Amino acid sequence: MNPWEQALKQLEQVKAYVEIPETIYRRLAEPQNLIKGELEVGGKKYPAWRSQHNDARGPYKGGIRFHPKVSEDEVKALSMWMTFKCATVDIPYGGAKGGVAVEPRQLSKAELEALSRAYARLVTPVIGEKRDIPAPDVNTDGQIMAWMLDEYEKAVGYKAPGTFTGKPIALGGSLGREEATGQGGVQILKALLTQFKVPVATTTVAVQGFGNVGYWFARLAEAAGFKVVAVFDSKGGIVSEDLTGLEIEAVMTHKQKVGKVVGYKGAKDLASEELWSLPVTVVVPAALEGVIDKEVAEKLQAKYVVEMANGPVTPAADTVLKERGIVSVPDVLANAGGVTVSYFEWVQNLQGQAWDLEVVQAQLKRHMEEAFSGVWREWERLEGGQVNPATLKVGMRVPTYTIAVKRVVEAMMLRGNSR
């Protein structure tokens, strides 16, 4: 199942819980705008997209991904997930996503800059601080946002730092943005385990993906007292002997030296596929979509999944997980900390202010906790009482989507979009 089919299936499943007028449903089942182009760098051409899914609740919002597997359907799916993510945490944005089909590791720094600037030129006519606000995603970072903002501001002829988020601090970025996705995810995991009365200190965690999201999730989970026993990147993984827990900072130092987590001393190397059968309490997919399919769901040993990637669990796997009593925290809630602090960055830019880190962190915690308790109450309502993993009527995606889709539908109805 490709990501767009997956996103559509998830939307379709909410129909049983939310009344969606047919015209509104049809609008939600397509992005409002899809911008396509080809970026030429170093004599090669790279296909590029920006999908603007929905802007009923506010300007379009979502990252830009540089990855060889980026496709039109992937970008469309990611843009729909952004619409529901921003609605889940109740921030005033719609959803969008951009992507370029490229392996950025094969580009020189000058080529990466040229590609980033070419992308900014492609989307300049359709973005803006009150229109569509891009941010980093897989393989893009603050430096790339800086190049794009610079190119955009040159084209429009005035400063508009709120057009991109995830910027370096020196160009109007926010303190706390870099770690925000991981931080929000750890907060959600803690809130979940509190509900199920599971103690943090004995909870073991395996993380798939050691980019910005996976690294910060692992590091902040370790700081919060979890035992992060295994981490994986695209080349393989490591597990701490007798599951005592890894020192995440030291693993990162090792990765920076040799380019992979494999080979870290004091841990055992593992092949990528060994991750899913590890005897841990929590698995955290923090890389790409579709990694937990039906087969993986059937052999998973963990009791909880925290979806830090976008779309890591397929609909077929969702059903298996629910039947096996495994709780999967949906992406649009688990990884919403990133876009939430992007929202704070944008607010600061529009007001010409810079918040202290403590303010950012307190606001993030409040947003994540409020979103979590809203979802939890809805889940209890759907279960008709206590949430018991052994007898689930629905997985956690259902109450989350119910809340998010209702908010988007309400905004569309108020705008008269049902006609």
Please list the active-site residues: 97
Q: Contact with ligand GLU (CB under 6 A): which of 61, 167, 254, 407?
A: 61
CB of 302 to ligand GLU, least distance (A): 23
Query: Interacting stretch for ligand GLU, rule CB under 6 A, among 247-255, 270-278, 338-346, 382-390?
Result: 338-346
Q: Contact with ligand GLU (CB under 6 A): which of 207, 339, 396, 408?
A: 339
Q: Between 65 and 104, how does the x/- string for binding to ligand GLU read (CB under 6 A)?
A: --------------------x-------------------
Q: Which residue is nearest to ligand GLU (CB)?
A: 63
Query: Which residue in this structure is represented by tokens 């689930």?
Result: 392
Whole-number Å distance between alpha carbons of 99 and 76? 10
The residue (of 62 and 176) whose beta carbon lies closer to ligand GLU is: 62
Q: Contact with ligand GLU (CB under 6 A): which of 74, 137, 178, 378?
A: 137
CA dihedral angle for residue 297, residue 72, residue 4, residue 334, rounded to 10 degrees:
60
Query: Interacting stretch for ligand GLU, rule CB under 6 A, among 21-29, 55-63, 153-161, 253-261?
Result: 55-63
Cα three-residue angle 319-183-99, rounded to 5 degrees: 70
Q: Contact with ligand GLU (CB under 6 A): which of 3, 58, 62, 161?
A: 62
CB of 85 to ligand GLU, least distance (A): 6
Query: Interacting stretch for ligand GLU, rule CB under 6 A, among 61-69, 255-263, 277-285, 346-354?
Result: 61-69
CB of 137 to ligand GLU, least distance (A): 4
Query: Interacting stretch for ligand GLU, rule CB under 6 A, among 46-54, 57-65, 296-304, 371-379?
Result: 57-65
The residue (of 32 and 165) whose beta carbon lies closer to ligand GLU is: 165
**Is residue 312 close enough to count as binding ligand GLU by CB under 6 A?**
no
Whole-number Å distance between alpha carbons of 208 and 218? 10
Query: Interacting stretch for ligand GLU, rule CB under 6 A, among 39-47, 273-281, 333-341, 367-375?
Result: 333-341
Whole-number Å distance between alpha carbons of 116 and 150? 10
The residue (of 84 and 379) whose beta carbon lies closer to ligand GLU is: 84
The residue (of 101 and 270) whose beta carbon lies closer to ligand GLU is: 101
CB atoms within 10 A of CB 305: 26
Contacts with ligand GLU, residue ranges (CB under 6 A): 61-63, 85, 135, 137, 165-166, 310, 335, 338-339, 342
